[in-house]
Structures are given as C-alpha cells and as structure tokens.
Chains A and B, each alone.
Chain A
Amino acid sequence: MEHNILVTIVDRNGESKEYEAPTDMGLNVMELCKSYELPVEGTCGGMALCASCHVYVMSDHELTEPTDDELAMLDQAFFVKPNSRLGCQIKLKDSLDGLKLVLAPVAS
C-alpha cells in the first residue's frame, strides 16, 4: 500500500507503539485503534456520542477543529484536558504522519 502513515499510540499501561495506518480508506483514529485491537470500545460507532475513544493529542499536528457535537461530548467525559479529542473525529490523512496519541483513562 502506498498511502500509509505512522501513528504512535500510548496505551493505558503507558506502552508506546507505532502503528501503520492507511490514509486511503477513510479510517479515523477510533477505527485504527480497534483494528489493532487496542482497548478502545467505540461504543457509538463514531458519532461522537460516547467518548469511549477519548485520546490526548501529544504532537503538534494541525487537526480539524472539533465540531459542536464533539465539544458537547467532551463536556460529558472525564479526565478531559486541553489536548483532549475524540478519536472517531480524527480522520487519518497524509499530513498526520507521525501523529502521537495517548489513550485517555476510562472511568469504571
């Protein structure tokens, strides 16, 4: 595959790993995590309605601004920081090569 980028994801045990991610399949970060069987539920299927794909963006890549729906959902989430995003709202594209993310903790 030609359209691949590398995304670094730190899981909830602090383990950091680089993942190859295709950019020509319309995938988002939540789907990428699920495809590598990272512990991301993606309960709502990507509608910005559950926050189970909450991540912290650690690199300074330029991301599209969060929508009102995403901000509203983050209002209902916990462990929210200024660099919080919902993985399902981050679409993988070539300019995100080298993106670094940390999975946010989940409330029990």
Chain B
Amino acid sequence: MTSQYAGELCTLLIEDNFGELFARIFSILNRYDRLSFSRLKFYSRLSNAQLRHGLAAMIQQHLVYHYTSYDDGITYYEPNMQSAYYLIRSGKILEFIEHRLGKYAATVMSTIMFLGHAQVGYLETLPALKPSKSDVNSTSEECEGVQEAEENQGDEVHQETEEDEKTENRPNGLNSDYAPAEQPALLHPTLKALAGHGYILRVRDAQFQSYADNTLDAERTIKSRPDIKALKGKKLEEAVAEGTLELLKERLDGDLTRGLMFNGVPRGAKRRHTNGAHGAPNKKARIDYAAVDEDEGGDGEEENEWSDDEFGEDTIPMESGITVRINYEKLDVALRNRRFLELAERDSSPVTAEVYECLLRRIEYQTAKCRDNTEIPREGEEGEHYSVPVPLRAVVEDVDLLLDLAGSVGPMEVSQPINRRGKRPLEENANGAVHESNGAQSDGNRTYEVDQHLCLLAQPPYSLTSKRMASGLITWTVEFRHLARKLRHLELERVIEARYGDVALRVVRVLHDKGKLDEKRLQEISLLPFKDLRQVLASMQTGGFVDLQEVPRDALRQPSKTIFLWFYDPDRVCNSVLEDTYKAMSRCLQRLRFERNRLKEFLEKTERSDVKGNEERYLSEAELTLLEQWRAKEALLLGEVARLDEMVAVMRDY
C-alpha cells in the first residue's frame, strides 16, 4: 500500500473529498512518511493555525496517525493510507448497508463516515438523524462538498476528539440508568444493529497510532514487566511476542458485538424465520427484500428489518459515551461474501445462490476480518483456512420457506439419455414425484434438499463450500483463502483474456496448472500451433504476464544448449496489475477533474444557491442537456473507479 500510485490515488481521493488543505498535508506525509510538526510545517509551508486545524481534523477522520514518542516527547505524524483509500469504498459500503439494514441505517452509517468517528451522544443531537427527517436526508453522495465546513470545524472537532478519548477510558457496560425516553426512536436500535453486525466498532486510543507504533509500544510495556524481565534468550523472545500480540489485541479491540450476538447471529438480524411462522405479511416483506438483491434497496420496508419485536432488551439504548467508527475490516468480509455470491450466481441456479447466501451470511456474522495476516501470502505458501462451521440446521432455518428447493436440482438417475426428448416415462415419474412433495415438505426433506444445494456448490471448479462432520452433525464451511485466491486468478484471467485473447487464457491456465514448461510440452497440452503459441507468449512476456527461465545444460550457457521454460507467476502479475489498477483509478479521477475544469464556469453556475434545485427554471434547454451529460459523465467515471476498486479489493483486501 505504499507504492507511488497508491499514494497518488489516496492524495487525489482526499483532495476530492476534503479539499486542498488535507491533500497538501497528506501528500507531504505520503512523500516523507513520518514527520514531526516542525518538519511538516517546513515542507508544507502552511501556517501554524492551518496546519494544526488540518491535522486535528485529519486525525478525526483517521487519515493521519500521530504518535508522541516517550523519548523526546515529540509528536510524529504519519499518513494512514488504508483509511484514506477506504474513502473510495464508502459508496459501496453505504449501498450495502442500505440493502442489508435499510435506508436509515445507511444514513447513520454515512453520518459516522462523514464525521470520521462520532460519539453516540453527539449522533443523538444531529438533526439529520432525527427519524422524521430520515428520508429527506438520504446521504448517498457522501462526503461530497464537505470540505469547507470541515476545515472550519477543525478546532472544535479536535477538542471533541480529545474529549472522546477521555470518555473512552471509562469501563464499558450497559448503563441502565440512562434515560431512554428522550431518545430518537430509531437511532439506538439502528446503532445496535450496526454494532451487532460488527459494521461499527468502538474507537480506541490505540487506533490513532500506526500499527508499528502500537507494536513497539506494546513490546516496551511487556518488556518492562518484572516477570518478563526474569526470562532470557529464546524464551524471552517468545514471551514478548506473545504478550505483544495479546496487548495489541486488547488495545485495538473495539468490538461492539458482545452482548448483541445471539447464537452467532446479531440480535436484530434474527428475523427470517423466527417470525416467519406467525404472520404472512412478515414473510412477504422478506421476499420483497430478497427481490431487491441485485437492484437497489429502496422501499420503506427495510425500516423494520432490524428492529424486532421479540427482544425486549432492544429498547435499552447504546451508551451515549461510546465513540464509534466504521469497521472497514468487517465490511470487507461482507463485500467479499457478496463477490462469492456473484461467483455462485454465475454458474448455479438462483435457488442455489440463495441457499449459499444464507450460509454466507451466517458465516459473516462470525468472521471478523478477511485474513489474519496483513499481507496476502504468496501463492502456494498459504495454508487452507476454513471459516467457522455453520450447522446445516441453521442454514435450513434461514432459507426462505417458499423457495422451491427441489425444482432446481435434477434427479440422481437418468434412466434414458436426454436427447430423446419427451420419451422418458420413468424419469418423468421420478421428477414429478419430487415436485409433488414440494407443497408439503417435511422438515427432514427440506434439510436434505438444502444439503443437496450446498453439495452442488461444493463441486469443482469453484468448490464454494465444503462439508464437515462435527460430532455427528453436518456442518458447512467456506474455504475463504482458496476462494479469495480463485477470485484473484479470475481477475487476472479477465485482464489477460481482454488483452491477449482466449488462446492466451488457455496458455496461462496450462502454465499455472503445470508450472514451468518448455515450448514443446506447452504445445502438446494446449494444442496450439507453434506460430500462434509463440506469438501469444511473446506478447504476454512483453506485457509482463508470463516469463521465461533459462536453464543452461552446460557451463557455457549457449542458447542451443539451454532449456527455456515458460512460467506464469500469479503473485508477480497480481502485484503489477494492482499497481496498474491504482494508476488507472487515479487517471480516471484526474480525467474527471480535467473534465470538470473544462466545464468550470457552467458548473459553477449550476452550483449557485439559487440555481441549485431549480435547474429547470434558470437554465436554458442546451444547458440542461449539458448538465445531464455532465452528470452522466461524472457517474460513468466514478462508476469506473468503483469497478476498479472492486479489483483492488480482490487483489489486496480479500
């Protein structure tokens, strides 16, 4: 994440979202990495006040890490690339939240996002989150045009930050003495739902420091403990490493899901079939909800997605002293699951995909992050890592009762070949019988069918699920690392196919499967004429997708006595494509800015406070068309950036 293009992209993003001051500070920090205030001031040539305001607000937005050294008492600032990058994913996240938990939840989420982090008490006071207005203020265009206000607020925000930090140190617990009467009706349940799903977490002190600083700090603390001091050599190292990890976990942990989870499911989320039994309207709502899977969630239905009537305790509000922020790691898990689901949808029937979605959701609740280590391990060095096993029973519970499970899986035995259409009396019978039982399915039957669908998913080529037996119970898991790898390969293959054609794709797949091959063997397996093969290999080598290894047969290294082996290294290719993706993203953003500049005067006119909202009245016909075109253009470019971000997510985050 520290490459040239990533830095460029993050700076661009910050400039777009927060304005020039932030961008200036960020780009300086990006260039020099870790700076004290005076050096920062020197490089950025900003005034004291500007810099302080900027830094304070950036800390609030988690764009800058700060760390006050114990040795010299100087505070150092460092850019937080990761969270700067996540600015780009905010739209996707909000859309996801809206789909999952409803519009109001998305509004709350966008408010928290907009503020960087926010105290629950402060959220209560925001007019935007008052329930009456919740529909008016749909902040789908998050963070846009916020900069000025933010900069002015700098000081205020900073104070608030400090305040927050103080309040956090209080032990957490359910404050029952809190007066629930005056709470906005929706805010607290929504926050609870968000917290229960793990989409928001508590801000901790340590989160303001970079991971390296935290590690060093924790190490120092551990080392100064008397029991550790007594140890020596290897034992000491081990103890320190272990203690550091523990301490880090303790300090960074902002998990809010405790107490909000019920049997591995967030309380609010337990809506599917617990209440499905006693009311048709409820069921109806569920189906509608599923209907918007691919489109947009937009009806009023979602408002009560999370608020459920069974849990009386749910009226207990969130403690207003808690400061919350977005939990991007968890959201990555959710977004990754969405990608897996898309993969399943491509090759499986919609019914199977829906069963899969139920499984994935169950797993998502119990998965905190996409992987344990910060870097994606090299190909082949990655151990298999299974998700939490989900009992088959739980999946069955979640699957919609009205879903026709039997109709989308064929019979086990086909008595006659398929090509003789209509002449299959036996088969017809078998199939008909399955359908007959569909109406009044017994529970066991349904379980079996869900299992069948999951088995179907477990098949190659993707092996989207895998079956486990745990103490006699069937459980299902998802092999995340394997699938994440698969996604990565798919992305690369798409790029290769688009650039070099399907012949190249075949060659790359052969190389990937077989390792290093010489031309002859490669030809035998890929069944391609030499001419085509050489052409495609050469052009791919120029593009950096495949490479050649020379293995000399004697010490002289004559070309005639050298074996040439082609190989394809997905790790290397992935890294270079990732860089290209960053670059393409920033190019799109730069182009957008350029286009905006071209239309600057016109756009300024449309932004005027009297024109805005009354475009039809003040703008001419031609101008209206232009505005429309501009909007389409902007949407296209931003959409493209979002699509590129999906690739980045696959190659870097999943």
Tell whether A pairs with B.
no
Measured CB to CB, the residues of B under 8 A from A are: none
